[in-house]
Structure 1
């Protein structure tokens, strides 16, 4: 995905307005506060309390307790116009932090290992700036969302009506991205991130003595053939011009060398970009597992779950983000249009309802040892990116909210 090293590129701080540059120490302070107090999905009570306290202090209208711990803040401009939503996720991961930094996690076994602490700080900084500089037409709605990492907070927030009253015309969001260096930004039209689907499959054979296989139905043999057969879904059933992944991540069976296992359990994930493939993988997997099991005299149980649809950007809003990024970022790498990942994100549920754009903001700095991958116990990022994120969000508001 990255066409160059993760060394930071030149960041022209003069392109970040003085008022936002002055916010940088507070952005770092807020981010580190959240980083020290990470919370898992739908348990972000300390995070939500801290956000609500700031919004209250700044006189920003807001509603708490949406989809358990979510918050929506409303910032009106000084004249009528469209409504732009900005989304930031708040939750952390069940990972023990290994970083030895003053702001390391205080919560055992929980860590901000994906940058959501930065997303929340950037959204707070954007809220503060806009509340002090409401010279735009329309309304900005800031959505602080729980549980992106699972089981998913975007869908219940949509169902709770966060895109209504006032009705949102478009939505934007960012992900701090350690696959790109500081001073770069990834944005593209169409599919940006993949659908996420999960499955659990239990092959039911007939166990027996390892020396007498003719008396058994070997669930391991059947399971192995299922694993191989599932790989043909992408290679032989999906258009080669459309990307897809079927991964078996877990295969458990048996407990002794001389015992043929009665059952074998497989677990895996499916990823794809094309929304038109929704339902296809589940149907094809059912056909393959059924056929293989039937041919061996085995039975099966298949539990298939569709978690998140693909993240699909609207071309007009993606163009707006790209044009704004070009005014903030001027580097050799700059804007990365091919930036795309099979990772998933429940920002997709917002984008199914209203046009919008989700983009990656490079945050890695290998020279400062800030380039570990997402979900790694030593994940961290260059905090210079926080002011850049606020500047980009503010300029998107100024460009979209016009009359």
Structure 2
């Protein structure tokens, strides 16, 4: 039956590419994906599936029931875009100014729609149920996964599978890793309040820029001096709002920072040290600090036993497509919330463009090899057919 599925998907590769390009031209930001959600719902009209809308915030749950008892597997694809002005020059570039599918979620939705259609046509070949999760708002906290989980998208589900196409990984291959595979995330805003004054008389003021600049330097020691060298952690100051006039001492400065850690323990260590440095800044410079620290997406953990099953199945049954172990990835991913609820696996499909320069995700020139769509569909479809196979 897997061979039959593969053949059907190969015949529909053009449909996947067509859908991907339509979605790429019409991107929508997180929590604003009205037209995209409707497009997904419309696609399933007339098909032998059950569609549940408005799961969480604009999420779509599709149930493919074989009518026979068995296990329940969920497969997930996200569909939101980013606030980026596209600069690819593609003939199907974004028509929405300042909004772009710069992370591949258009590809995720395209392959998933065609795969789901095909599996629905073949549902007599497996047992149990397949739950297709079309998730909005992966890019912006609190993310779309939590709302869908709260609305019961995982009720009765045994395992969850997710895939991400990767422009930085070799096209034509599938990559996996057991255990922690993507970092958890936190973000913070720090307002440093001093005392303004004339640039010629710093002794009568308390310079917030000097204090905040010290924090920017000191916070770099959290990773270099407070984490075990074998732990993965990152602290980035992405915004320093200190613009003023050359002869005026600022009375306050606001910083914004990004935190990543490959384990929850690492995230907690970084949070503790940032709060400690903030208190120390007040003592050292006599300033007042207002810290708003927000713990965000958890680290993504691939269940080792289920990952072993997925990787072994793909290696044995996915003909002509290499399946390789990879390193953990620095970005965060709200698929982690599903993985906290059910034993799950999140793996990657290489999508580096064959021609031209390779640009990372979230770049204005980001693009992928469209061959990755068929490979993603084959890989996930193979897992579905094997996991839900008739005994």
TM-score strictly above 0.5: yes
1:149 to 139, 144, 156: 139
Q: Which moved more, 1:70-79 or 1:370-379?
A: 370-379
What residue number does 2:368 align with? 381
Any idea what the Cα deviations from partners look like across 1:235-277, whole Å, max 9, x if unmatched?
Answer: 2222221111111122222412222211122111110011223
Alignment of 1:164-179 (within 5 A): 164=155, 167-179=156-168
What residue number does 2:249 align with? 260
CA change 1:354–1:89 in 2 (3 A) is same
Q: CA deviation at 1:351?
A: 0.6
Any idea what the Cα deviations from partners look like across 1:40-73, whole Å, max 9, x if unmatched?
Answer: 1122121111211121221211101112211000
What residue number does 1:62 align with? 51
CA change 1:272–1:278 in 2 (3 A) is closer
Q: Is the 8 A contact 2:48 2:64 kept in 1?
A: no
Distance 1:80 1:371 in 2: 46
Q: Is the 8 A contact 2:260 2:267 kept in 1?
A: no
Distance 1:301 1:317 in 2: 44
2:71 match: secondary structure: strand
Distance 1:119 1:149 in 2: 14
Q: CA deviation at 1:195?
A: 0.8
Q: Do residues 390 (structure 1) and 373 (structure 2) align? A: no
What residue number does 1:195 align with? 184
Distance 2:132 2:97 in 1: 30
Q: Which moved more, 1:22-31 or 1:278-287?
A: 278-287
Q: Do residues 359 (structure 1) and 347 (structure 2) align? A: yes
What residue number does 2:73 align with? 84
Q: Is the 8 A contact 1:186 1:339 kept in 2?
A: no
Q: Which moved more, 1:307-316 or 1:96-105?
A: 96-105
2:152 to 151, 154, 161: 161
1:127 match: secondary structure: helix
Q: CA deviation at 1:78?
A: 5.1
Distance 1:300 1:401 in 2: 55
4+ runs of 1 displaced by more than 6 Å? none
Distance 2:63 2:96 in 1: 31
Q: Is the 8 A contact 1:246 1:269 kept in 2?
A: yes
**How many residues are aligned here?**
385
- What is the RMSD of the two structures over their aligned residues, measured on CA atoms? 1.8
Q: Which runs of 5+ in 1 are unaligned?
A: 1-13
Q: Is the 8 A contact 1:254 1:262 kept in 2?
A: no
Any idea what the Cα deviations from partners look like across 1:279-331, whole Å, max 9, x if unmatched?
Answer: 33222211111112212111110011112111111112212221233232646
Q: Which runs of 5+ in 2 are unaligned?
A: none
